[in-house]
């Protein structure tokens, strides 16, 4: 059984304008790797309805699991929930279960549960709520699409709520060897070694520090014994001096 | 005249597995914003030929400018140049101009210009080289697709080489106001104000620190006087106490 495949859709002008450096992609990549879900693609699009809907439809058709980040707050630029509803052809309005959660939250806070805040209870018909212990306003899952907030603390809490509901496969294991030689010197024997292990992936990540060239070679796979075997062969090929 | 649109394609398993946190997207977003190029989409795909070629073809058809990052080194997992050639239906082989640059570099270094290193001189027919003052191995431009290295120092140097060749438009200007009220409280008047400035984009980015809720509201546009006008209206709407 191969692992489920996943894609992420990051929604936000603030990432594309360079104002904010995205943090959620890196977090999700690490969590999915541990959970045995293969993140295969990430797209970042702006707060633009057609762009969001096109990306949603391409990704939900192409991957087992899709996670979105951003655009589910109370302001006019928060259009993700409506885009998801449109992509699925589902009806969307303020839903009683989400409204009840938020109404209780704002009552505890002594804040008004006004029209803008009620926008955060807009959930497509057929969706399941994703728990948000940080700021209450829920995410939601619609078939294989899981819609989450963009604020990193809230995104991370929602990922924790979601993961138990996603059946992962074998976690992707990796080991790495730091080789203090230029990539151009190790490339040929490394390529020949990689060809002997078709089930594993061999990545080479060059670096240069203080005029010295080196590469981190990473071996990845879900079979721990095979990764160990390949690492032993790699170490023999490039003995550390 | 509206600004040229751009997309970025990041190629790399190391980003999708969570091993490395991408830095090039954030850098390019900032440079393009200053240069008056509107970055509209970013895709991250793995070191997989069909995935790279599909993304290249979608992005080069959809945007004025496409920048790729990653996969142009000497090792077996460096397949970007071949994918670009295949996407354009162009012939690719070691090219004399790139070979001459690299041969001179390795001669100066006293290193062997071996077969692996010659892979870095594989350039599609019809492409123009992009200068790499850091580590010599060039990037290249093929029509509207600009192919660059993934190592951040090299990527940044190649962006500097490329930018003078891209005709930008009006730089996207932005100003922001920090409002110490919850997004749910400011959403309605903010949405009404945004509707009065259809040429500008109003983004609201909530935060929570020490239990206090606030939002950074960012107004973006290429007409500085209009942005100033909108900021004055925004400040009047939400006076700082």
Residues 117-176 of B with CB under 8 A from A: 117, 119-120, 135, 151, 153, 172, 174
Count of residues making up chain B: 241
Is the pLDDT reported for residue B41 higher than 90? Answer: yes
What's residue A33's pLDDT? 94
What's residue A241's pLDDT? 65
Distances (CA, A) of A184 to A214, B138, B224: 10, 15, 49
CA neighbor of A4 nearest in space, from A241, A222, A238, A200: A222
Give the integer Cα–Cα distance in Å for B23 and B149: 12
Q: Which of the following CATH numbers is that of domain A5-165: 3.10.250.10, 3.20.20.60, 1.20.120.1200, 3.40.980.10?
A: 3.40.980.10
Comparing alpha-carbon positions, the chain A residue that sits nearest to B5 is A16
Q: How many CA atoms lie within 13 A of A6 on its CB side?
A: 29
Domain boundaries, chain A: 5-165, 173-237
**Interchain contact, A218 vs B188, CB within 8 Å:** no
Is the pLDDT reported for residue B83 higher than 80? Answer: yes
Instruction: Determine the distance in angstroms separating the CA of B119 from the nearest CA of chain A, rounded to an integer.
Output: 9
What's residue B170's pLDDT? 85
Task: Tell me the pLDDT tens digit for each residue of A11-31.
Answer: 989 999 999 999 999 999 999
Q: Given the DSSP bridges, would you call strands A139-142 and A128-130 parallel, antiparallel or unpaired?
A: antiparallel
Specify whether the CB–CB gap between B68 and B80 falls below 8 A: yes
Confidence of residue B163 (pLDDT cuts 50, 70, 90): very high
Class of domain B173-237: alpha beta
Confidence of residue B1 (pLDDT cuts 50, 70, 90): low
Lowest average pLDDT, out of A42-51, B76-85, B101-110, B205-214, goes to: B205-214
Average pLDDT over residues B71-84: 95
- pLDDT by residue, tens only, chain A of 241 residues: 588 999 999 998 999 999 999 999 999 999 999 999 999 999 999 999 999 999 999 999 999 999 999 999 999 999 999 999 999 999 999 999 999 999 999 999 899 999 999 999 999 999 999 999 998 999 999 999 999 999 999 999 999 999 999 988 888 899 999 999 989 999 999 999 999 999 999 999 988 777 788 999 999 998 999 999 999 999 999 998 6
Beta strands in chain B, from DSSP E residues, in sequence order = 5-11, 38-45, 65-69, 92-94, 122-124, 128-130, 139-142, 145-148, 173-179, 201-209, 212-221
| Model confidence, pTM | 0.93
At B86 the three-state DSSP class reads helix
**Interchain contact, A76 vs B33, CB within 8 Å:** no
Give the integer Cα–Cα distance in Å for B137 and B113: 12
Is the pLDDT reported for residue B210 higher than 90? Answer: no
Task: Tell me the pLDDT tens digit for each residue of B95-139.
Answer: 999 999 999 999 998 999 999 999 999 999 999 999 999 989 999
Residues 26-45 of A with CB under 8 A from B: 26-33, 39-45
Comparing alpha-carbon positions, the chain B residue that sits nearest to A79 is B203
Interface test with A, best of B24, B205, B207 (most A CBs within 10 A): B205
What's residue B241's pLDDT? 65
Distances (CA, A) of B118 to A38, B71, B80, B113: 33, 15, 15, 7
């Amino acid at each position: 059984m191969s692992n489920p495949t996943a894609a992420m859709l990051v929604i936000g002008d603030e990432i594309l304008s360079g104002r904010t450096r995205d943090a959620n992609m890196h977090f999700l990549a690490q969590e999915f790797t541990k959970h045995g879900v293969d993140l295969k693609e990430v797209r970042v699009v702006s707060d633009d309805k057609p762009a969001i809907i096109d990306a949603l439809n391409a990704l939900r058709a192409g991957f087992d699991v899709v996670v979105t980040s951003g655009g589910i707050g109370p302001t006019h630029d928060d259009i993700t929930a409506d885009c998801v509803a449109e992509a699925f052809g589902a009806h969307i309005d303020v839903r009683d279960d989400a409204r009840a959660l938020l109404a209780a939250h704002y009552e505890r806070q002594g804040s008004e549960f006004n029209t803008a805040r009620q926008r955060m209870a807009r959930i497509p018909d057929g969706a399941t709520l994703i728990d948000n212990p940080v700021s209450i306003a829920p995410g939601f899952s619609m078939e294989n699409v899981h819609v989450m907030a963009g604020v990193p603390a809230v995104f991370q809490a929602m990922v924790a709520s979601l993961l138990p509901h996603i059946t992962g496969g074998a976690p992707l294991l990796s080991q790495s060897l730091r080789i203090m030689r230029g990539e151009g010197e190790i490339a040929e024997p490394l390529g020949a070694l990689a060809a002997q292990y078709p089930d594993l992936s061999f990545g080479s990540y060059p670096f240069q520090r203080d005029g010295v060239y080196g590469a981190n070679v990473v071996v990845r796979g879900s079979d721990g014994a095979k990764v160990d075997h390949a690492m032993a062969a790699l170490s023999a090929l490039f003995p550390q001096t």
